[in-house]
Amino acid sequence: MPTIDESIDIDVPISTAYDQWTQFEEFPQFMGGVDEVRQVSDTMTHWRTSIAGVDREFDAQITAQEPDRQISWRSVDGKTHEGNVTFEPLGATQTRVRVRTVWEPEGFTEKAGAALGADDRQVKADLKRFKEFIENRGVETGGWRGQV
């Protein structure tokens, strides 16, 4: 199974980066191929994606969430997809965001893309767009400080 591990340093306080990441319905603004994310409950999200011509819908459960530290998830619809995003303070106004995911590609297109490193490049590009999104705003669009 491919494992993706990418990080980026962002020029906002840790609480700003974390709070924005909890706004899952905003993900299409900076994640390529993500058409829609609906927050179904505090611990369940529904995703609609279109990546390299492959359309998917799936549910993901938040399995752990600690404010300003981490958010972990796993798919619950039979697909193998799980991950973790961590937040590390680099000072009062800078944060390192690290995304680690493991997933099982299906079909020729997904397997070829994984073998060629397209997944790593996609996550790296998504993190760069997240950085631009939150740094340009300067403040989060909302936040959820609950713990799972």
Amino acid 117: pLDDT: 82
Contact 17, 95 (CB under 8 A): yes
Amino acid 79: pLDDT: 72
Amino acid 136: pLDDT: 96
Amino acid 60: pLDDT: 96
Q: Which of 130, 123, 126, 116 is nearest to 4 (CA)?
A: 123
Amino acid 51: pLDDT: 80
Amino acid 147: pLDDT: 92
Residue ranges in the chain modelled with pLDDT below 50: none
> 85 vs 22, 91, 104, 106, 146, CA distance in Å?
11, 19, 19, 23, 16
- What is the value of pTM for the model shown? 0.93
Amino acid 104: pLDDT: 83
Element (H, E) at 88: strand 81-91
Contact 126, 112 (CB under 8 A): no
Contact 65, 148 (CB under 8 A): yes
User: Which residue ranges make up each domain of the chain?
Assistant: 3-137
CATH 3.30.530.20 fits 3-137, yes or no: yes
Q: In angstroms, rounded to a whole number, what is the distance separating the alpha carbons of residues 4 and 61?
A: 19
Phi-psi label, residue 92: left if phi above 0, alpha if psi -120 to 50, beta otherwise: alpha
